[in-house]
Amino acid sequence: MQNLRQKGTEGEELAVKYLQEKGFAIIKRNFHYGKIGEIDIVAKDKDCLVFVEVKARNSFKYGTGLDAITPSKQRQMVVVAKGYIQINNVQNTEMRFDVISIDMSAKPPQFIHIENAIVLR
């Protein structure tokens, strides 16, 4: 049985391939902002900068990975994204937060991709 880190890494690999097949350009993987947190994938979808959280599950029997995106995790993602924007001097660019949940037990793996999963208020 693989550990959580291995499953997470495998899930991120699958998500990168999935996004590339959808026409996304991958800019950065595993962007860390100090000790605050990490964003799994930073990508471009046409002219939109997309911050992607990937959740891999062994099945969707007890819910998708979307259930793991708590309000606290959402706030953390926003802070880390702001750090990315500041460090990389991103200006005048449309941005959004997506979540990709992957059922790793399905053959082939099953993806649920939610665009604009986090709405800034």
Mean pLDDT for each 10-residue chunk of the chain (121 residues)? 66 96 98 94 97 86 74 92 96 94 89 88 61
Q: Which amino acid is at 103?
A: D
* Element housing 74 (H / E): helix 71-87
Distance (Å, whole) CA 106 – CA 118: 26
Residue 34 · residue 86 · CB < 8 Å:
no
Q: How many CB atoms lie within 10 A of CB 8?
A: 16
pTM, whole model, 2 decimals?
0.90
Cα angle value 76/81/83 (rounded, 5°): 100
If you classify domain 4-114 with CATH, what class do you get? alpha beta
